Amino acid sequence: MSECVLQAENLSKHWGGLKALHEFNIKFYDKSLHSIVGPNGAGKSTLLNILCGTYPATKGVILYKGNNVTGLKSYQFCRKGIGRSFQKTNIFKASTCLENCCIAAQQRVGGSFNLFKSRQSSQFIKQIASDALAQVGLSGRADTVASAISYGEQRQLEIAMVLATDPQVLLLDEPMAGMGHEESLTIIELLKQLKQRYCIVLVEHDMDAVFELSDLMTVMVDGQHLITDVVDNIRANPLVQEAYLGNDDEVF
Amino acid sequence: MSVFSTKAEKVFILAFFFIALGVPLFFNENTFYVNKISTMLILSIFVMSLDYLVGKTGLISLGHAMFYGLGGYLFAIMVPEYEEVNFWIYTFYVMAASSVIALIVGLIVLRTSGIYMIMITLALAQMTFYFFADSTEYGGLDGLFIYLKPETSIFGLNFLDLDNETHFYYLCLLSLFNCYVFFKITLQSRFGRVIDAVKENPERATALGYNIFHFRLVAYVLSSSLAAYAGYLFSLQYGFVNPTMMSWEVSASALVMAILGGLGTVFGAILGVFVYESLHYGIEHMTQYWMFWMGSLIIVMVLTLKSGIAGLVEKLVTGKRK
Ligand SMILES: Nc1ncnc2c1ncn2[C@@H]1O[C@H](COP(=O)(O)OP(=O)(O)OP(=O)(O)O)[C@@H](O)[C@H]1O
Ligand SMILES: [Mg+2]
C-alpha cells in the first residue's frame, strides 16, 4: 500500500446524548479509493464533515500527512488539500458552470482580495476551471447557468468544483445519489481515473459501484467502526450481513 | 469587460449623468433646486453604499446611518474652529477615521448574521445616537456647527468653491460618479467574485477555502466608509451635524430606497433616492397626510415591481429593443 495521508484517531462526535461517531479509528491511503458504507444514520456524513472541519470533533485527533490538523478552521482544510463534495447538492446556482469552478480555482491561485483586477483577467484560473469541467465531462455546459443543468450534471459539477481546488484528498458524500444510470457510469469511470492520482474517500449507497471501485472498504454502524477490509473479504463477512439485516432489531 | 452589467444600466447611467451635468444650467436662477438635487446626489452615495452591503454582500444592516452621521461628526470634531482647512486632506482624514471605526464595529457585528445582525447594527447605531444626543461637549441634540467650509486647492490650484451652490453640486455629482465606478470595479474584480459567492452560498464558499469573515469585513469597511463620506458631504452642504442624521429613521428609509430602486443593482440606488425624494417632496406639498399616501404608494410599488425600479427600467430598455 502507498503512504497514509489522512488518519483519524479515536474520533468522536456527540450530538447531546447521541453518539453520531464514537471512538473511530481509520486510515486513508494515497492513490486509492476507500469507501465507507453503512445504514442510514450510521454517521458517514458526520465522519466526512469532521474530517474536513465543518464542525469540530468532540474528541479525537485528525492527522493529515502526519500533522495534527484537528483544531483547524473549516476553510483551512481545503487549503491544506482536503476537498469535499456535499451529500445535498451545494453549488452556486446563479452562476455558470465555468464560473462555479473559477470560484474554486481562484482560491488556489490567490489574489482574492484584489479589488481592482478584473475577475476575467486570469487565463490561468479559467484554464484550471475548464480542465476541471472537462474531467467530469461537463465541458459542453461551461456557459450554462448551474440552475439550468440536470440534477445529475449538478452532481458532476459538485465534483468538478472540488477538483478545481487542487486537492490531495477527496471526500465525496454520495456523489451518485439521485443520478441516472448513464450518469452514474460517467462518475464511476471518472472515479477510476481519479483514484490513480488522489486519495478518495467515498460514501455511497450504490453497492455495485462501491464493490467495483473500492480498494478498501469500511462498514460502520451506529457511529462505530465495524470492519475495514478489501472488497472480497467484506462481501463474504457474516458480520456485515448481520449489520445490514439486523439493524432494525436494534431499535428498541 | 464593461462597467455596466446590463444594457438598461448603461442606458440609465449615461442618461442620468448627461442630464445631471446640465441641471445647474437649467435652474440657473434657482439655487433652491440645485441644492435639493445636491442633497439627493449625496443621499444616492449613502443608499448605494447600503445596497453594496445588503444587496451585494448579503449583510442586512439597520444601523447604516450611524456611519452617515459619523462622517459629519468626525469632520466637525477634527476640524479646528474658525480655521479654514483643506478639503482633500480632511476627506482623507474622515475616510481613514471612519474606516478604522468600521473595522472595529465590523469585527463585532459580523460575528452575527441575519436577524441578529439587524438587531445589533440597530442597537449600536442607537447607542451612538444617544451618545451624541446626550453629550454636552458635542452639542447634544443641536449638534455641531461648521462655521467655515474647507478650501479645495490642490497643488496651489483652486477651481472649486464649496460656498458656491453650483460648484458644490458638481462636487456631489463627481463624488457619486466615482463612488459608482469604484463599487462596480470592485464587484467585477476577483474580490467581487468571492463576494458574489459568499452572498449566494456562504457554506460552499467556506468549503472551497475562503475565510468568509474577512471578505465580509472588507465589504463592510468599504461600504461604511463611503456612507461616512456621504455624511461628510451632507454636513458640509448644510454647515452643521446633529444626531438626527444617524437616527434609525434615516437607516430605515435608506433601506426602503435601496429596495425601491432594486436591491443588488447598485445603480438602482440612484433611482430609489430620486423617486422616493421626488414623491416625498411632491406629496408633502399636496396633503398634510403625506406619510400615509407615501407609505401606501411605496407598498404598491414594492409589491408590483419585483426587482425594483431598476427592474422596470430593465424591462423598458430590453422591451424596446425587441
Ligand atoms: N447537526 C446535527 N445535529 C444533531 N444530530 C445530527 C446532526 N447531524 C447528524 N445528526 C445525527 O447523527 C446521526 C448520523 O448522521 P449522518 O448524517 O452522519 O448519517 P449518514 O450515515 O450520513 O446517513 P445517510 O446515509 O442517511 O446520509 C444521525 O442520527 C443524525 O440524526
Ligand atoms: Mg449522509
pLDDT tens, residue by residue, A59-85: 999 999 989 999 899 999 999 999 999
Residue of A nearest to B218 (CA): A113
Reduced to 3 states, what is the DSSP secondary structure of residue A113? coil
Chain B residues closer than 8 Å to A108 by CB: 209
Whether A251 has a pLDDT exceeding 50, the answer reads no
Beta-carbon separation of A92 and B201 below 8 A = yes
Q: Domain locations in chain B?
A: 22-246
Grid coordinates in use for A143? Answer: 456557459
Q: A1-81+167-252: what fold?
A: Rossmann fold (3.40.50)
Q: Using a CB-CB distance cutoff of 8 angstroms, which residues of chain A are in contact with residue B199?
A: none
pLDDT band at A250 (very low <50, low <70, confident <90, very high): very low
Angle of CA points B196, B263, B203, to nearest 5°: 30
- The contact set of A with B (CB < 8 A) is 52, 54, 73-79, 84, 86, 90-95, 99, 102-104, 106-108, 111-120, 122, 161, 165
Q: What is the mean pLDDT of residues A87-111?
A: 94
| Terminal C-alpha separation, chain A | 41
Distance A88 CA to ligand 2 centre (A): 9
Residue stretches of chain B with pLDDT short of 70: 1, 320-322
Report CA A162 to chain centroid distance, whole Å.
Answer: 9
B194 in contact with A, Cβ within 8 Å: yes
Exposure string (b/e) for A187-204, b if CB count within 10 Å is 16 or more? bbebbeebbeebbbbbbb
Please compute the mean of the pLDDT values over residues A221-231 and round it to a whole number: 87
Q: Do A119 and B201 touch (CB under 8 A)?
A: no
Ligand 2 centroid from CA B54, angstroms? 34
Given a cut of 70, whether residue A252 has pLDDT beyond it is no
> According to the model, what pLDDT value does residue B320 have?
62
pLDDT in tens, B184-210: 999 999 999 999 999 999 999 999 999
Residues within 6 Å of ligand 1 by CB:
A 15, 18, 20, 38, 40-46, 87
pLDDT value at residue A243: 67
Q: Which of A13, A21, A44, A51 to mutate to test the pocket of ligand 1 (most atoms within 8 A of CB)?
A: A44
Nearest-Cα residue of chain A relative to residue B190: A119
Task: Choose the weakest-confidence range: A4-8, A28-32, A243-247, B79-83.
Answer: A243-247
Hey, are the CB atoms on A161 and B208 less than 8 Å from each other?
A: yes
C-alpha cell at A216: 478498501
A245 has a pLDDT exceeding 80: no
Q: Does B205 lie at the interface with A, CB-CB under 8 angstroms? A: yes
One-letter amino acid of A88:
K
pLDDT at A16: 86
Q: Return the C-alpha torsion angle B295, B301, B306, B311, nearest 10.
A: -120
The pLDDT assigned to A1 comes to 58
The pLDDT of residue A249 is above 70: no
Cβ atoms B217, B103 nearer than 8 A: yes
B25 phi/psi in degrees, rounded to 5: -70, -40
CB contact under 8 A, B193 and A75: no
Share of chain A above pLDDT 90, in %: 62
The model's pLDDT over A133-172, given as tens digits with 9 standing for 90+, comes to 999 889 999 999 999 998 888 999 999 999 999 999 999 9
Q: Kindly list the residues from chain B whose CB atom is less than 8 angstroms away from the CB atom of residue A107.
A: 208-210
Burial of A3 (C-beta count, 10 Å sphere; 0-12/13-18/19+): exposed
Q: How far apart are CA A134 and CA B304, in angstroms?
A: 43
**Total beta-carbon pairs less than 8 A apart between chain A and chain B:** 92
CA distance B322 to B319: 6
Q: How many residues are listed for chain A in this entry? A: 252
Q: Where are the domains of chain A?
A: 1-81+167-252, 90-166
Q: Which three cell numbers stand for residue B184?
A: 462596480
Closest alpha carbon to B49 in B72, B74, B66, B37: B66
User: Using CA positions, which residue lies closest to atom 10 of ligand 1?
Assistant: A20
With beta carbons less than 8 A apart as the criterion, state whether B277 and B229 touch. Answer: no
Write the residue in A93, A104, A119 that is nearest to B190 by C-beta: A119
Name every residue whose Cβ is closer than 8 Å to that of residue A135 and which is 6 or more positions away in sequence. A160, A163, A190, A193, A194
Sign of CA dihedral B6, B11, B15, B18: positive
Predicted ipTM? 0.89
Q: How close does chain A come to B218, measured CA to CA in Å?
A: 9
Helices of type H across B79-164: 87-109, 115-134
- Shortest-distance atom of ligand 1 to CA A46: 18
Contact flag B209-A111 (C-beta cutoff 8 Å): no
Pairwise CA distance, residues A191 & A171, whole Å: 12
User: To test ligand 1's pocket by mutation, which of A22, A24, A46, A222 has the most ligand atoms within 8 angstroms of CB?
Assistant: A46
Contact A205, A236 (CB under 8 A): no
Dihedral sign computed on CA atoms, order A23, A40, A75, A58: negative
Q: Which of A84, A103, A116 is the closest to B193 by Cβ?
A: A103
CB B62 within 8 A of CB B192: no
